Amino acid sequence: MEIRSVTKAIRLMEALADAEGPVGVTELARQVDMDKSSVSRMLRTLETAGYVSQDPVSKSYLLGLTLVHLGQKVLRRLNLRNAARGSLEALAMKSGECAHIAVLVGGRALYIDQATPARGVSIDAPVGTLAPLHCTALGKCLLAFQPALAIEALLPSLNLEAFTRRTLTDIGSITRDLEQVRERQVSFDDEEFSVGVRCIATPVFKHDGTVAAAIGLSGPSPRVTDERLREWETMLREEAMSVSMQLGWEPPASMQRAKVDETSLNN
């Protein structure tokens, strides 16, 4: 049973979350299609609990710090984040670049953890970063391994913005790119989201074989050569398999045999 007042409060907080800065009561009332007096009362209640705060000068509202604390508690409880921590650190140490893991949330890739190298400049994407699906390596991975019907529904609803001259923005080209991602089980961002940055990612699977997350590496283009990407691909596959198995996923027999053969050759 829906409690309308709770639903309205959630809509208010979502409107504030989407805003780039503080929002006034009148504008909020317009966005959520509520009368100003109701919005004002709800905001005062939310402010008392710390879910929103009011700018003392403009009297406009923005999200409060209570949500940050709640979000951090949720992240700490994520088995996925705990399972991936060791792999992220290993990838950052071996590559000398920044390692990330992201999940699909509301049509975007949400970064839930990262590990940075011990020294040197790296590509930083803080926990909580929301990235587009169509032009980031992590986003492509998350999108490519959704069910076909989900992809068909998602693509037209995405804001296919051109962030650089390399960004694919037409659905046909993006669909072909996603097919390659599924075939290789690895995705690339070759300066498609940010000029001067190249990234690679691979999927992490749950016990039922569906995608749980994407794990990846990012670095400045001058350092990230094609040769390094090939090296990273091997590392990423190994670490993604490790995380997936911690989540209860069982790799196909062919993949297990390939792993055994590779180990035998190395020994």
78-266 has which fold? Answer: Beta-Lactamase (3.30.450)
Share of the chain above pLDDT 90, in %: 55
Distance CA 116, CA 124 (A): 8
Query: 208-228, pLDDT tens digit by residue?
Result: 899 999 999 999 999 999 999
Query: 80-136, pLDDT tens digit by residue?
Result: 888 999 999 999 999 999 999 999 988 899 999 999 987 766 677 788 889 999 999
Q: Where in the chain is the domain with CATH 3.30.450.40?
A: 78-266
Position 188 confidence tier, pLDDT thresholds 50, 70, 90: very high
Distance CA 121, CA 224 (A): 13
Q: CA triplet 230, 231, 234: central angle to 5 degrees?
A: 90
Parallel, antiparallel or unpaired: strands 98-105 and 108-115: antiparallel
Distance CA 172, CA 39 (A): 43
Q: In the prediction, which pLDDT does 189 show?
A: 97
Q: Where in the chain is the domain with CATH 1.10.10.10?
A: 4-68
Distance CA 60, CA 254 (A): 59
Amino acid sitting at position 246: Q
Structure tokens at 258: 């390939």
Is 4-68 a CATH 3.40.640.10 domain? Answer: no
Residue 260 has pLDDT above 90, yes or no: no
Q: In the prediction, which pLDDT does 8 show?
A: 85
Structure tokens at 163: 């962030």
Please tell me the least confidently modeled range out of 101-110, 175-184, 188-197: 101-110
**pLDDT, greater one: 254 or 249:** 249
Contact criterion met (CB below 8 Å) for 218 and 123: yes
Share of the chain above pLDDT 70, in %: 90
Structure tokens at 160: 């296919």
Q: In the prediction, which pLDDT does 122 show?
A: 67
Contact criterion met (CB below 8 Å) for 99 and 150: no
